Amino acid sequence: MLFFSYFKDLVGQEVTVELKNDLAIRGTLHSVDQYLNIKLENTRVVDQDKFPHMLSVRNCFIRGSVVRYVQLPPDGVDVDLLHDAARREARGA
């Protein structure tokens, strides 16, 4: 649940999602659900010459199970807050 809430706070920010097939998609985070499925708006594929497969796609839904990394904006992470939340969850509170 922690990362679900965390990603919900990131809605509206620009992120890059790297998939498990090496495709990297950049876009504005529109929404996240409990499976960490991600919806992006104004998407563009990072290496369009190599991957022209999504040239006519501007909004997309990425299944949580194929996400390898989510690259976040540097100011999008409050490390202390996340730290505390992670500790609290580990304690089971």
Partner 1 sequence: MATTTGLESLVDQIISVITNDGRNIVGVLKGFDQATNIILDESHERVFSTKEGVQQLVLGLYIIRGDNIGVIGELDEELDASLDFSKLRAHPLKPVVH
In terms of Cβ atoms closer than 10 Å to its own Cβ (0-12, 13-18, 19+), residue 38 is buried
Residue 50 Cβ vs partner 1, minimum distance, rounded to whole Å: 7
Q: Does 11 bind partner 1 (CB under 8 A)?
A: yes
**Nearest alpha carbon to residue 64 among 14, 26, 7, 10:** 7
One-letter amino acid for residue 73 of the chain: P
Q: Which of 2, 61, 78, 83 binds partner 1 (CB under 8 A)?
A: 61
**What letter would DSSP give residue 29?**
E
Q: Does 82 bind partner 1 (CB under 8 A)?
A: no
Total of residues contacting partner 1 (CB under 8 A): 31
- What does the binding site for partner 1 look like in residue numbers (CB under 8 A)? 8, 11, 19-23, 25, 30-33, 37, 39, 43, 50-63, 65-66
